[in-house]
Chains A and B, each alone.
Chain A
């Protein structure tokens, strides 16, 4: 096994490397942003833009979401990256492109709330997930939120952040993460109302030079 380091005899962690430009044929799944069961009356859409420090949309990012359910449960459910076990997918139109492998990705079955979503940004740097509003997990004083992991070509290490919902003003005052941030920084973690059942949450990877876009707060957990 790997050797130990000087952190209390614990094992040394394997370092991260950039996700690179060519993950698109491997990691995204059909309906990967459909966390809520199909047709659920309480489903909400969280959508937004991923931008770099020059204000340019990032077309090759991959966002992953993990969250508590509407009942505060963190159990989740398997099946968020479901494959079709039956047969080979039809050949794509491009003559020389190899077929998708046997048991092509089917996407989630639409019936269960898995708690997990995975979506790539589109050519315009946009993403969207459809989910259920989380409740606070456990009995802590933390406010309900979505956990987000941001991957992108050119990022040496993925970035963690959170999406809080604007309705929970009282809970935000006692949230152990939000409470330690000045208001303009905390605001980067708040989704904005954007019509019925819709929220806007943009990810700003780097503070823009002109100050127009405040950099999203990214987290180092310990």
Chain B
């Protein structure tokens, strides 16, 4: 019997992605207290109705005549504001690479196959409890074109809230992905607790036998505390 292998040393922390440095403002953002302008446009937001979402939008595996390649998954969760109130009737949009790690985008030149039955674009509206749900395939990892690293599997998410100030664009990651500790873009979120908020939980109870594997990812939208809903002020 050989001794169990010692745990692998922690990976070196990747240099956090800084983005395109010449695109970042040099000046601090101007704090604006919406209390001084309670009618600020930004305290409300666009409304979306059934006409903004199509019948097949939330199921990315049924948008084409054929079956896409890859592992079927569902991603579901609740959207709340910072006070814990559900964000209802708002648009959630996703986009992602296919199971091989390739986007349906003309500028993506990663030499992985395109899938004629998968576009990787979905949308839905949150229900009365603030829930959203998508059926899709697990996206593949892919290398960054100009870096020496691979990106972990991720799905891009866009959220509207009840206020324009709650607007959020972010990325959801998968639990247990070995690439997570090496990802520069995830590392751009400096607080480990904040990074943890971007990783979904595998939900075995939700995963149907022979059905898609289920992931749960809850989201909290920021915004001024003055933001009201029908339950507030």
Contacts and interface: CB of A to CB of B under 8 A. Distances in A.
Interface of A: 1-3, 7, 10-27, 52-54, 56, 58, 64, 66-68, 74-85, 94, 96-103, 114-116, 134, 136-140, 142, 145-147, 149, 151-156, 158-160, 176-177, 180-181, 205-207, 215-222
- Enumerate the 6 nearest inter-chain pairs by beta-carbon distance, A residue then B residue, closest first: A138-B39, A78-B49, A154-B20, A103-B54, A101-B63, A26-B95
A142 B93 CA distance: 32
B170 interface: yes
B116 interface: yes
Contacts of B118: 98
19 contacts: A1-B80, A2-B218, A10-B83, A16-B169, A17-B186, A22-B105, A25-B103, A26-B94, A26-B121, A68-B41, A75-B47, A79-B52, A81-B52, A103-B56, A140-B38, A155-B24, A159-B29, A217-B30, A218-B25
A1 B123 CA distance: 22
Report which residue of B54, B78, B95, B193 has the largest number of chain A beta carbons within 10 angstroms of its beta carbon.
B54
B204 interface: no
Contacts, number: 275
Q: Classify the interface of chain A: helix, strand, loop or mixed.
A: loop
Interface residues of B, number: 92
Report which residue of B24, B41, B80, B165 has the largest number of chain A beta carbons within 10 angstroms of its beta carbon.
B41
Report which residue of B20, B26, B194, B195 has the largest number of chain A beta carbons within 10 angstroms of its beta carbon.
B20
Interface of B: 17-20, 22-27, 29-34, 36-42, 44-57, 60, 62-64, 78, 80-84, 91, 93-95, 103-108, 114-121, 123, 156, 158, 164-165, 167-171, 185-186, 188-189, 193-195, 197-198, 218-225
B154 to A, nearest CB: 8
B30 A14 contact: no
B54 A102 contact: yes
Given A78-B51, A101-B121, 18 more contacts: A1-B218, A10-B82, A19-B156, A26-B120, A52-B22, A66-B46, A81-B91, A85-B54, A116-B46, A147-B42, A149-B164, A155-B24, A156-B17, A159-B25, A181-B30, A217-B30, A218-B25, A221-B165
A5 to B, nearest CB: 8
A139 B50 CA distance: 32
B210 to A, nearest CB: 25
B52 A155 contact: no
Q: Classify the interface of chain B: helix, strand, loop or mixed.
A: loop
A99 B103 CA distance: 13
Report which residue of B23, B63, B108 has the largest number of chain A beta carbons within 10 angstroms of its beta carbon.
B23
A66 B106 CA distance: 29
Contacts of A176: 36-37
B121 A25 contact: yes
B80 A18 contact: no
B37 A177 contact: yes
Contacts of A81: 48, 52, 91, 123
A101 B119 contact: yes
A11 B220 contact: yes
A60 to B, nearest CB: 9
A104 to B, nearest CB: 8
B119 A142 contact: no
Given A15-B197, A25-B95, A98-B117, A221 B224 contact: yes
A80 B115 CA distance: 29
Given A115-B46, A220-B29, A220-B30, A21 B107 contact: yes
A78 B47 contact: yes
Contacts of A153: 19-20
A100 B156 contact: no
A178 to B, nearest CB: 11
A97 B31 CA distance: 45
Nearest to A86: B54
Contacts of A180: 30
Contact of B221 (A14, A66, A115, A156): A14
Given A12-B220, A13-B221, A25-B105, A83 B57 contact: yes
